[in-house]
Amino acid sequence: MFGAGVADLVEGVSKLSHLSKLARDNNTASRTAEADRLHTMLLAMADARAVLIKLADRVHNMRTLEALPLVKQQRFAKETMEIFVPLANRLGIASWKDQLENLCFKHLNPEEHTELSSKFAETFDEALITSAVDTLDEGLREAGISYHNLSGRNKNLYSVYSKMQKKNLTMDEVHDIHGLRLVVDKEEDCYRALDVVHKLWPQVTGRFKDYISRPKLNGYRSLHTVVMSDGDHTFEVQIRTKEMHLQAEYGFAAHWRYKEGSCRHSFVLQMVEWARWVLTWQCEALNKEHSSSQVKSDAIKPPCPFPLHSEECPYSYTRQCNHDGPLFVILLEHDKMSVQEFPAGSTVMDLMHRVGANSPRWSPYSIPMKEDLRPKVNHEPISDLGRALSMGDVVELTPALPDKSLTEYREEIQRMYDRGGFALAATRSGSGGSRRR
């Protein structure tokens, strides 16, 4: 009824949901290294739209979280903060990232959220921002400076909280909570508009930053200045071109690298850039005021040939860039989950060797306790251990014991030993095997 494309999307979202549940049940997010591998694996899915659907679903779930018991609310919010917020950040979806952060903040730190929300409402002066927009609009018109967009903006509540915690500030000392954002056509207009701003309002000393002539390490470019309005209220003004705004909003500046630090694998950067290229291209296609040539400039080169396919092509959203980096797979063993990293080209046999090397094969009584394991890949039993692993595979290792679980066998053996039902003739001196008395 819906076609193969929709079916593939449903399958992709279902797999993401399965991985998310496994991570939540095993508290994977609390282990930084494994959480990072999980982020990478989710981004490696073949269709970026599946990731977007899952993120949208998580935003909806977080909005209705009050329906769950308190303990589940906190578990869900913790997983969202540690798994899905970084994912939205890496994809450059700032609005979803902000929503998720604020909702997680509300459930994880309810007292701090309530207090800060109250102060935030007290300090917000909508009339001040509206007046500032009108004042700047008039000043720009008088100076003959055309602009693309001028709007008021508020800093994300969780970002305010994080900044206060990180720099030991009070809310009054955070100067960029409220402000204006001006998007102009040309770079020279940024500096002309800055002169207008500083003529309209006195500048706060030491609060001007020129990220155009000296971009951030992540490539972010814009002018930031903090000014003083009537009544001793401060607000920030950001000035940038349309191209700079596109970079900042949709990710070509790789904002996640600035926020989260360096990345060990170059192919991860490529995958992130590819996914962001998909998002940016879609936004460009929907925005008639932009031409596709703007995002194909020398300054912004797509890492993959997307979008070279026609709209009807079923592969138009498929990742075109192959990577030679490591693979990340989910390992389920004895109801425990871990995110494992393997070199490209690794097989199920390689995974089995690793499991065998990392698990004790003998009990303190020299009884072989490491039973044979039957592997399943994505719920399907396999007999060919030479099967190549793929990014995102879920590998289950189940014991080959016929009826009883490994725990039951261990308990039974321990009871027999405690009752003296058998003895071990094998000694450290190597005197032979076990025998019945």
pLDDT-wise least confident of 49-53, 154-158, 371-375? 371-375
With tokens 């936004």, the residue in question is 283
Give the range among 98-102, 120-124, 249-253 with minimum mean pLDDT. 249-253
Residue 382 has pLDDT above 50, yes or no: yes
pTM of the full predicted structure? 0.58
Contacts 24+ apart (CB under 8 A), 83-89: 83/20, 83/23, 83/28, 83/29, 83/35, 83/38, 83/39, 84/55, 84/58, 86/35, 86/39, 86/256, 86/260, 87/39, 87/42, 87/43, 87/51, 87/55, 88/55, 89/255, 89/256, 89/259, 89/260
For residues 85-89, give the mean pLDDT: 81
Cβ–Cβ under 8 Å, residues 262 and 310: no
Distance of CA 128 to the CA centre of its chain: 35
Under DSSP, the state recorded for 388 is B
Phi, psi of 233 (to 5 degrees): -90, 135
% of the chain exceeding 90 in pLDDT: 23
- DSSP lists the bridge partners of residue 149 as 183
**Overall average pLDDT of the 383-403 stretch:** 78
Structure tokens at 35: 């959480």
**Residue 191 scores a pLDDT above 90:** yes
The domain segmentation of the chain, as residue ranges, is 1-108, 123-247, 263-321, 327-419
pLDDT for position 434 = 45
In this prediction, residues 152-167 reach a mean pLDDT of 87
The conformation of residue 378, written as its DSSP 8-state character, comes to: T
**Multiple choice CATH, 123-247, 3.20.20.70, 3.60.20.10, 3.30.460.10, 3.40.640.10:** 3.30.460.10
Q: pLDDT digit string (tens) for 336-348?
A: 777 788 888 899 9
Name the strands in the sheet holding 178-184, side by side, starting at the edge strand that comes first in the sequence.
147-154, 178-184, 234-241, 223-228, 209-210
CATH code linked to domain 327-419: 3.10.20.30
Residues 6+ apart with CB under 8 A from 362: 368, 369, 370
The residue-averaged pLDDT of 74-87 equals 86
Q: What is the mean pLDDT of residues 294-317?
A: 37
CA distance 387 to 383: 9
Strands 209-210 and 380-381 turn out to be unpaired
Euclidean distance between CA atoms 178 and 224, whole angstroms: 13
Q: What is the per-residue pLDDT for 105? A: 95
The CATH topology of domain 1-108 is: Hypothetical protein af1432 (1.10.3210)
- CB–CB of 393/329 below 8 Å? yes
Residue 18 confidence (pLDDT) above 50 = yes
